[in-house]
Amino acid sequence: MIEVDYSVYLVTDSTMVPESSTFLKQVEDSINNGATLIQLREKKLSTLDFIERAKQVHELTKQKGIPLIINDRIDIALAIDAEGVHVGQDDMPAILARKLLGPNKILGVTCSNVEEAKTVAEEGIADYVGLGTVYKTNTKKDVKDPEGTGPIGIRKMLQVLFKYQKDTGKKIYSVAIGGINHSNANKVLYQCSIPGYGLDGLAVVSCIMANEDAGKATRELVEIILSRPEWTKNITETRSKCQLEDKLKSLRQNKPLVHHITNNVVKNFSANVTLAIGASPIMSELPEEYEEFASTIPNLSLVLNLGTPSSNLMEVFKHAIKVYNKHGKHILFDPVACGASKARLECSRILLNTGQVSVIKGNVGEISSIWKLTSTYEESTGNQASLMQGVDSIADLSEDQIIEIGREVSIDFKTVVVITGVNNYVIDGYTFEKIKGGHQLMSYITGTGCSLGSTIGAFLASAADGNFKSTFNVFDAVVGAVELYNLAGNNAGKVSSSPGTFMTNFIDQLYSMSVAQ
């Protein structure tokens, strides 16, 4: 069997080569600068021209000792003795392709959903799968899901492949494809993995083929693939057992800025809460200024609140996620009422596919809805995963089930999860902390849920001091914020008998506990 390195997989397209270059030069430059595998994908060439081109590319790949895969055309692969073939779902079925190719050629198959991944796994004859379309792309316009499957969809397919590997001991390699470029390659690798199983590589077309300098583009892509995602640099891996008092000291010193893109109902209250704990709020929905914020302000975080969604706001959210991810700044996502409609859950899916958030905060209903996005069962059988069996509504969930749902969301999205309620749960994989909820009067004041998001945002921005020297990690920051918020709520409740006075007492408590020390 041929040893294959799938990490940097160049799929060719002769229609996008810049005028300053030629098709063969693009491919050669890429091979000489780190491409580990080449797929010749020609949709319009005559058979004769295809063979000629395949021979030329094969000369180049043979010199470097890397495999050449031919898209779709098994006859051409056999004719020139290429190392393998890639088939899509509308091409020759994999079983027949394998028959024609024999056991020793590399066979790759495209999978766009869990069903297709299951079929490929069950047949067990593909060497690797191309999983996509990750993001929308101009290179392949006939894709069904215009937003792309995103990392959530890729992870679902990886779960199927991992299960197959556990059952059979056989591995099917995987690469992600579609809309991958220098700006997201690193994020895709980070987000498109599941515990115990990850992508073996990235397949790209335009970010190399259409580049004026295909060699440089390949080199830079290799560097990005090997580097660490920006936002993980802002996380101190080890916990320091830092107490709330120490976190508040850091908050007072760092005076963090919390950028809110939040709903119209709570803007005022959230700004007041942010100020009361000694942080500063900015409520900006002007995407043009985000790059400036994120690149110049060290103690900055972003709170994304889905409370009053709109098509315009979705574009603002998406832009913000990309910019904050690029600069490694923490994002808290508050999927307000995401279970209320299909459209709202879809907004959450799109945003969680756009980038990486550090914290997802919601009540049991909201976190359960997010959890449904990750379930691999519903697409194929219509059933929810076993975790929800025997549960008619979220009111029936036991504490263990709530924590398990939070844990699955945390592991799948690589994020800290906060579940609010009578008790609050802060969950980071197998680490969790239970924190008593605030006072019942809080439920009479709009924005007390959303403003916990502001408080967490402030702690997150304070933990990340811009020089990556934080003394507490994301989990600790979130625990601190939830502790402060609920302590202040309980203290305010003791001296208030009605919502109006509670509100002022709550702000006063937050202030006296954090600022006036």
**Taking CB within 5 to 8 Å according to partner kind, which of Mg ion, ligand 3NM, none is near residue 140?**
ligand 3NM
Nearer to ligand 3NM, 206 or 354 (CB): 206
Angle between helices 474-494 and 499-514 (to 10 degrees): 130
**Helix segments in 86-238, DSSP class H:** 94-101, 114-123, 150-168, 185-191, 206-209, 214-226
CB nearer ligand 3NM, residue 188 or residue 441: 188
Report residue 184 as tokens.
């997201």
In the bound state with Mg ion, the residue whose beta carbon lies nearer, of 74 and 409, is 74
Least distance between ligand 3NM and beta carbon 328 (Å): 25
Choice between 88 and 437, CB closer to Mg ion: 88
Distance in Å, CB of 86 to Mg ion, minimum = 7
Closer to Mg ion at the Cβ: 94 or 271? Answer: 94
Query: Contact 263/305 with Cβ under 8 angstroms?
Result: yes
- Active-site pick, 192, 207, 242, 450: 450
Question: Which residues, 6+ apart, have CB-to-CB distance to 48 below 8 Å?
Answer: none
Report the nearest approach of ligand 3NM to the CB of residue 178 (Å): 4
In the complex, what is the shortest distance from the CB of residue 229 to Mg ion, in angstroms, rounded to a whole number? 32
From the list Mg ion, ligand 3NM, none, pick the one residue 106 interacts with, judged by a Cβ distance below 5 to 8 Å according to partner type: none
Query: In terms of CB distance, is 72 or 408 closer to Mg ion?
Result: 72
- Binder of residue 205, out of ligand 3NM, Mg ion, none (CB less than 5 to 8 A by kind): ligand 3NM
* Positions that interact with Mg ion (CB under 5 A): 72, 88, 91
The one of ligand 3NM, Mg ion, none whose footprint includes residue 72, by CB under 5 to 8 A per kind, is Mg ion
Contacting positions for ligand 3NM (CB under 6 A): 11, 110, 130, 132-133, 137, 139-140, 143, 177-180, 204-206
Pairwise CA distance, residues 104 & 84, whole Å: 9
91 binds, among ligand 3NM, Mg ion, none (CB under 5 to 8 A by kind): Mg ion
Gyration radius from the chain CA atoms: 25
CB 455 within 8 A of CB 270: no
Residue-wise DSSP of 370-383: HHHHH-SSHHHHSP
Closest separation in Å from C-beta 143 to ligand 3NM: 6
Nearer Cβ to ligand 3NM (145/230): 145
Sign of the CA dihedral with 229 first, then 322, 267, and 435 last: negative
Residue 407, contacted partner among Mg ion, ligand 3NM, none, CB below 5-8 A by kind: none
> How far is the C-alpha of 418 from the C-alpha of 425, rounded, in Å?
6
Query: Which SS3 state, helix, strand or coil, does residue 148 take?
Result: coil
Residue 10 contact partner, candidates ligand 3NM, Mg ion, none, CB within 5 to 8 A by sort of partner? none
Asked whether 332 and 450 are in contact (CB, 8 A), the reply is no
Tell me if residue 450 is catalytic. yes
Side chain identity at residue 182, one-letter code: H
Those residues whose C-beta lies under 8 Å from the C-beta of residue 319, and which sit 6 or more positions away, are 287, 290
- Using DSSP's 3-state secondary structure scheme, residue 356 falls into coil
Q: Strand order of the sheet with strand 359-363? A: 280-283, 257-261, 300-305, 331-334, 359-363, 416-420, 423-428, 431-436
What are the E-state strand segments in 294-392? 300-305, 331-334, 359-363
CB of 35 to Mg ion, least distance (A): 20
Nearest distance in Å: CB 318, ligand 3NM? 17
Positions marked catalytic: 450
